[in-house]
């Protein structure tokens, strides 16, 4: 079987721009596909819940333009998954329209754009649940309840290789995918050329974060992966980077709890028997990967729900006695909020920098010795008006905290702003679950359109 | 510890010590060594175990979802459940990227001659 080459220029398209120099070197290697992932749930539940991107349009356009021009020049497919950070339908439509605009701008000859959606209607899930289909929790979460579903604003399903393969088989020149497993974007491409699932998913696993599988550390550089007869080769394109046994094996464990197993829709990539060998300075070879098909076809679901409007306030403390008694200062302010708003129906959080602001309860240092503290107050409530008043009370009342032996009686905290500031609304991840489906394409309708002139 | 044992800080033995989200409900920690010797030294020291992690972070064993020694990468990694999902209001570290710091100063027992 002939070898198949694929380049990945960015581990999260749009989050920061790809580096063009190593991308061009990758393009000169004449890959069979140019692919990358554009999503992450690291950005928090806000973008999914509010159906927005966290990546700026200018950076999304920059990378799509570089990739499209190179792919059309080489005449090879360009494959994108998890469009616009979240992979919601509006993000897929956005990326399709960006591709069409770029094509028009450069007067590219006509080409086929395949795309698929992955948003899941709440009522579809409700009907499934009412028929007795369990929506199983991941990571120790309990089975989904109807209350949790009601508290959800938007849900996406995580596609495997299936919708990508359908669109590639239909001759798509560009694919814009909804929410997708990172590895599936690459795996589908090389599977369409007849390579094994094991090699394809391993290739996807190693390429998904672009140059994070290379060393020295440096993101957004292009990496080239190649599959041929039972082995995967991965090569850094940047002159400054190498793919070493350590960097490639090390990447297998990045952002995951278990470095040996990768679960995708339809099965599991088993890396237990992987063998890593340095082929030359820039290239590492991996063999021995296995793919275990799943007995039941389960698809991961991600969901986010709004918990309320949010304001933040900021305060500082310099008096050592007040620093020592910061918990009492916060308790005073919380009590003032409770006296007016009660115990429920809102959230009020204090992050105390200089004490445990970064780690909270996980902070092992309990006796802090900072000479000053910064306190960030967050209030979340059903309306902006209430959130603002709770935040203002929770912030300003620290100024009036009553400490028995304090010398300074003109104000217990300092302010850089005597105001509270509205931020994006607060959301929470309501779904991290899976659902069994009969048809691998059930949640991922595919479509075809065109771009160019 | 016996009389002829000494200790070294984990930061002096490991090449990389990092933490990062593993999905929305967990944070995973990677301790990566540049060579086999330091990896084996720490692996066999008894100083970096589920028990010592629980003591360091003040958590119960059930908060640890995985503890893995990963020979191909000379790495030890463990994963803990978050108390609330990443990015919930009040979450101090939505990427989970700064939770590794206490590991730097962890004492690793070095066997004496």
pLDDT single digits (tens) A203-215: 999 999 989 999 9
Strand partners of residue B26: B81
Closest by Cα among A86, A82, A83, A81 to A52? A86
A262 phi-psi bin (left φ>0, alpha ψ -120 to 50, beta other): beta
The 3-state DSSP class for residue A328 equals helix
Cβ of A257 within 8 Å of Cβ of B32? The answer is no
Nearest C-alpha of chain A: how many angstroms from B82?
Answer: 10
Q: What pLDDT, on the 0 to 100 scale, is given for residue A258? A: 87
Residue in B25, B32, B84 nearest the CB of A250:
B32
DSSP output for A403-450: -TT-S--S-SSB-S-SS-EE-SPEEEEEEEEEEE-SSTTTT--EEEEE
Strand partners of residue A328: none
Rounded to whole angstroms, the Cα distance separating A221 from A20 reads 8
Cβ of B58 within 8 Å of Cβ of A44? The answer is no
Residue of A nearest to B33 (CA): A246
Q: What pLDDT, on the 0 to 100 scale, is given for residue A255? A: 84
Rounded to whole angstroms, the Cα distance separating A94 from B5 reads 62
Residue of A nearest to B105 (CA): A364
Residue of B nearest to A309 (CA): B89
Q: What pLDDT, on the 0 to 100 scale, is given for residue A379? A: 98
B110 sits in which H/E element: strand B107-110
Cβ of A255 within 8 Å of Cβ of B77? The answer is no
Let me know: does B61 contact A19? Beta carbons within 8 Å: no
What is the band of B72 on the pLDDT scale with cuts at 50, 70, 90?
A: confident
Cβ of B32 within 8 Å of Cβ of A246? The answer is yes
Residue in B28, B70, B90 nearest the CB of A349:
B90
Q: Integer distance in angstroms from the first to the last C-alpha of chain A? A: 36
- Residue B34 with chain A: CB contacts under 8 Å: 246
Pairing type for strands A426-436 and A174-176 reads: unpaired
Q: Which residues contact A189 (CB under 8 A, 6 or more apart)?
A: A4, A6, A32, A33, A35, A77, A79, A164, A168
Note whether B59 contacts A: Cβ–Cβ < 8 A.
yes
ipTM for the assembly: 0.93
| A1 pLDDT higher than 90 | no
- Residue A426 with chain B: CB contacts under 8 Å: 88-89
Length of chain B as a residue count? 113
Residue of A nearest to B63 (CA): A140
- Residue B102 with chain A: CB contacts under 8 Å: 359, 363-364
A308 sits in which H/E element: strand A298-317
Nearest C-alpha of chain B: how many angstroms from A95?
Answer: 25
Rounded to whole angstroms, the Cα distance separating A237 from A214 reads 10
- Range A173-208 burial, b when 16+ CB lie within 10 A, else e: bbbbbbbbbbbbbbbbbbbbbebbbbbbbbbbbbbb
Residue A23 burial (C-beta neighbours within 10 Å; 0-12, 13-18, 19+): buried
Handedness of CA B20, B24, B87, A413 (dihedral sign): negative
Residue of A nearest to B36 (CA): A246
Q: What is the pTM of this model?
A: 0.93
Q: What pLDDT, on the 0 to 100 scale, is given for residue A200? A: 96
Query: What is the mean pLDDT of the segment spanning A299-316?
Result: 98
Cβ of A429 within 8 Å of Cβ of B24? The answer is yes
DSSP letter at B32 equals: E
Q: What pLDDT, on the 0 to 100 scale, is given for residue A257? A: 87
Q: Which residues contact A175 (CB under 8 A, 6 or more apart)?
A: A77, A78, A79, A80, A113, A114, A115, A116, A164, A167, A168
Let me know: does A434 contact A138? Beta carbons within 8 Å: yes
Q: What pLDDT, on the 0 to 100 scale, is given for residue B113? A: 59
Let me know: does B112 contact B17? Beta carbons within 8 Å: no
- Residue B57 with chain A: CB contacts under 8 Å: 362, 364
| A250 pLDDT higher than 90 | no
CA distances from B113 to A162, A344, B106, B110 (A): 59, 62, 22, 10
- Residue A254 with chain B: CB contacts under 8 Å: 20, 30
Cis peptide bond upstream of A144, omega within 30: no
The mean of the pLDDT values for chain A is 95
- Residue B92 with chain A: CB contacts under 8 Å: 351, 357-360
Residue of B nearest to A362 (CA): B57
pLDDT single digits (tens) A171-196: 999 999 999 999 999 999 999 999 99
| B111 pLDDT higher than 90 | no
Let me know: does A289 contact A258? Beta carbons within 8 Å: no
Let me know: does A433 contact B25? Beta carbons within 8 Å: no
The two counts, helices (H) then strands (E), for chain A are: 13, 20
DSSP letter at A368 equals: -
User: pLDDT above 70 covers what percent of chain A?
Assistant: 100
Cβ of A351 within 8 Å of Cβ of B92? The answer is yes
- Residue B79 with chain A: CB contacts under 8 Å: 257-258
Cβ of B99 within 8 Å of Cβ of A362? The answer is yes
| A406 pLDDT higher than 70 | yes
- Residue A349 with chain B: CB contacts under 8 Å: 89-90
What is the band of B112 on the pLDDT scale with cuts at 50, 70, 90?
A: confident
Closest by Cα among A285, A287, A290, A289 to A233? A285
Rounded to whole angstroms, the Cα distance separating A389 from B77 reads 44
Closest by Cα among A337, A340, A343 to A311? A337
Cβ of A364 within 8 Å of Cβ of B83? The answer is no
Cβ of A253 within 8 Å of Cβ of B30? The answer is yes
Note whether B97 contacts A: Cβ–Cβ < 8 A.
no
| A8 pLDDT higher than 90 | yes
Nearest C-alpha of chain A: how many angstroms from B48?
Answer: 16
DSSP letter at A119 equals: B
pLDDT single digits (tens) A347-381: 999 999 999 999 999 999 998 889 999 999 999 99
Q: What pLDDT, on the 0 to 100 scale, is given for residue B4? A: 64
Strand partners of residue A7: A34, A224
Cβ of B87 within 8 Å of Cβ of A427? The answer is yes
Closest by Cα among B33, B17, B39 to B101? B17
| A274 pLDDT higher than 60 | yes
Q: What pLDDT, on the 0 to 100 scale, is given for residue A252? A: 81
- Range B4-17 burial, b when 16+ CB lie within 10 A, else e: eeeebebeebbbbb
Residue of A nearest to B99 (CA): A359
The mean of the pLDDT values for chain B is 93
């Amino acid at each position: 079987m002939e070898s198949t080459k694929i380049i990945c220029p960015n581990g999260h398209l749009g989050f920061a721009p790809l580096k063009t120099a190593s991308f061009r070197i990758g393009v000169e290697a004449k890959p069979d596909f140019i692919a990358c992932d554009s999503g992450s749930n690291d950005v928090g539940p806000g973008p999914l819940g509010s159906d927005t991107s966290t990546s700026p349009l200018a950076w999304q356009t920059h990378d799509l333009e570089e990739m499209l021009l190179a792919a059309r020049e080489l005449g090879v497919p360009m494959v994108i998954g998890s469009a616009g950070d979240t992979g919601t339908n509006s993000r897929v439509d956005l990326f399709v329209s960006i591709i069409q605009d770029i094509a028009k701008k450069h007067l590219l000859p006509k080409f086929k754009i395949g795309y698929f959606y992955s948003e899941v209607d709440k009522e579809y899930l409700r009907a499934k649940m009412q028929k007795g289909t369990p929506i199983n929790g991941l990571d120790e979460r309990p089975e989904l309840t109807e209350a949790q579903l009601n508290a959800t604003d938007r849900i996406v399903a995580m596609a495997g290789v299936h919708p990508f393969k359908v669109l590639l088989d239909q001759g798509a020149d560009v694919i814009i995918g909804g929410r997708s497993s990172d590895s599936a974007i690459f795996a589908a491409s090389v599977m369409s050329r007849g390579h094994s699932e094991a090699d394809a998913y391993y290739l996807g696993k190693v390429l998904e974060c672009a140059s994070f599988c290379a060393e020295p550390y440096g993101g957004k550089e292009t990496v080239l992966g190649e599959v041929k007869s039972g082995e995967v080769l991965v090569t850094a394109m940047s002159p400054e980077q190498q793919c070493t046994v350590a960097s490639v094996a090390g990447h297998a464990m990045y952002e995951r709890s278990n470095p040996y197993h990768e679960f995708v829709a339809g099965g599991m990539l088993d890396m237990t028997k992987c063998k890593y060998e340095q082929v030359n300075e820039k290239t590492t070879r991996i063999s021995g990967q296995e793919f275990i098909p799943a007995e039941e076809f389960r698809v991961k679901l991600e969901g986010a729900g709004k918990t309320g409007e949010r304001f933040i306030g900021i305060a500082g403390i310099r008096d050592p006695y007040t620093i020592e008694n910061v918990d009492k200062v916060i308790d005073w302010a919380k009590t003032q909020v409770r006296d007016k708003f009660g115990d429920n129906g809102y959230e009020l959080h204090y992050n105390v920098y200089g004490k445990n602001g970064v780690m909270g309860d996980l902070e092992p240092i309990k006796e802090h010795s900072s000479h000053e503290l910064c306190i960030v107050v967050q209030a979340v409530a059903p309306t902006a008006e209430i959130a603002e008043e709770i935040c203002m009370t929770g912030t300003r009342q620290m100024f009036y905290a009553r400490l028995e032996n304090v010398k300074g009686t003109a104000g217990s905290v300092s302010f850089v702003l005597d105001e509270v500031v509205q931020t994006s609304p607060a959301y929470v991840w309501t779904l991290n679950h899976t659902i069994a489906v009969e048809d691998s394409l059930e949640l991922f309708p595919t479509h075809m359109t065109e771009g160019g002139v | 510890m016996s009389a002829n044992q000494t200790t070294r800080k984990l930061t002096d033995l490991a090449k990389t010590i990092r933490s990062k989200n593993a999905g929305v409900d967990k944070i995973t920690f990677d301790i990566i060594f540049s060579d086999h010797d330091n990896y084996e030294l720490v692996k066999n020291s008894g100083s970096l175990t589920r028990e010592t992690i629980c003591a360091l972070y003040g958590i119960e064993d059930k908060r640890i979802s995985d503890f893995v020694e990963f020979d191909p990468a000379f790495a030890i990694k463990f994963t803990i459940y978050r108390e609330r999902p990443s990015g919930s209001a009040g979450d101090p570290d939505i990427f989970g990227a700064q939770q590794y710091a206490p590991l730097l100063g962890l004492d690793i027992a070095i066997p004496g001659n």
